Copies of this chain bind each other. A is one copy, B any other.
Amino acid sequence: MDYEIFDLGNAKLLRGATLRNAKLAYKTYGKLNASKSNVIVYPTWYSGQHYDNEWLIGKGMALDPDKYFIIVPNMLGNGLSSSPSNTPAPYDRARFPNVTLYDNVTLQHRLVTERFGIEKIKLVVGWSMGAQQTNQWGCLYPDMVERIAPFCGSAKTAPHNFVFLEGVKAALTNDVAWNNGWYESPPTKGLRGVGRVYAGWGLSQPFYMQELWRDMGYSSLEDFLVAFWEGFFLPKDANNLLAMLWSWQNGDISDNPVFKGDFKKALGAIKAKAVVMPGEMDLYFPVADNEWEVKHMSNAVCKPIPGVWGHFAGGGANPVDTKFIDDNLKALLAS
């Protein structure tokens, strides 16, 4: 096991359930300095686990473990933190409770404060649903979070994003093997279907026109669909995917007792210096939505990641995009 577990005890969730003996899986990179002033928090994304974040961490990069103490908390539902796949009955599998963005971030806050006694965070950064958690950190803990860098994400799931996820859900749950979540063996057709639906959303029209999947090592379009997209989702647990999908569809940094649904108030509460980086051609987190958000934040700029990699501009597969993100993180950390 290359990660650690923080026992959350009985975690009361926003929607009413109590997740007993809840677990938060996390990994740290680098060392916490004496003044506890070198902390970066870097939450995971939809179906990703901590090691999937490591492409943005490294010597000489902005997220340099020689300089910073980087905490990567695994999102609830991702299979390492408490999830449908690892929670004992009666909250197991299809009965796993609904987890909100607020739940994820307040529980991460407990890890950061109770386990490490940290009072200031230099940067919260994340991709996609990790970006949503980043924004949630910013507005819930404005005196603690000094900088945020959400990339290819939003502060509130847009209705179109909700709809795209309905399509993903339909492809999965139409597999009779899914059995309303009470499967004994995985609904593999459904999981492959998730990959097929996702394939069109994750990358842009010109990405496919230019056949840039060749740069990723695939030999044909169908090879990309099978080996990358189906292969990506096939090993994942269907109930975990659906649990995180619920969290995503209901992602809203203001949907909690602090902001009571007032989205502009939540955005306005973010005091951190923010660099918001949408993918220029991201099909589910459009640049326009980030531009609108930034206008309602006190100290934020929107810097689109140029190019045709769509949502996956933030996925670490394209060196040019990675450099863009890394350069902006360096500048932000230096400021």
Contact = CB atoms under 8 A, between A and B. Distances in A.
A286 interface: yes
A244 interface: no
Chain B CB within 10 A, most for which of A159, A170, A175, A225: A170
Nearest to A205: B160
Nearest to A194: B170
Nearest to A177: B176
Main secondary structure of the interface of A (DSSP, over half): helix
Contacts of A163: 196, 199-200, 208, 221, 225
Given A205-B286, A283-B283, A288-B206, A200 B158 contact: no
A167 B221 CA distance: 14
The count of identical subunits is: 2
Nearest to A178: B174
Contact of A162 (B162, B166, B203, B221): B221
Interface string A195-237: 0111111011111110100000000010001000000000000
B170 A192 contact: yes
A160 B202 CA distance: 11
A190 B209 CA distance: 29
A215 to B, nearest CB: 15
A182 B36 CA distance: 66
A234 to B, nearest CB: 13
A169 interface: yes
Interface magnitude class on chain A: 35 or more
A23 B207 CA distance: 40
Contacts of A150: none
B171 A197 contact: yes
Nearest to A161: B205
Given A164-B200, A225-B166, A209 B159 contact: yes
Contact of A167 (B159, B167, B284): B167
Given A169-B196, A200-B166, A209 B289 contact: yes
A315 interface: no
A193 interface: yes
Contact of A196 (B166, B175, B176, B206): B166
A189 interface: yes
Contacts of A167: 167, 171, 193, 196-200
A328 B227 CA distance: 45
Given A167-B167, A205-B284, A209-B289, 9 more contacts: A159-B221, A160-B205, A167-B171, A170-B171, A171-B171, A171-B174, A172-B174, A174-B193, A205-B283
Interface of A: 158-164, 166-167, 169-172, 174-176, 189-190, 192-193, 196-201, 203-209, 211, 221, 225, 283-284, 286, 288-289
24 contacts: A158-B209, A159-B208, A160-B200, A160-B203, A160-B204, A160-B209, A163-B199, A163-B200, A163-B208, A163-B225, A166-B199, A166-B225, A167-B199, A169-B196, A170-B196, A170-B197, A171-B197, A174-B189, A175-B176, A197-B197, A200-B201, A205-B284, A206-B288, A283-B283
Closest A-B pairs by Cβ, 4 of them: A167-B197, A170-B193, A160-B208, A159-B208
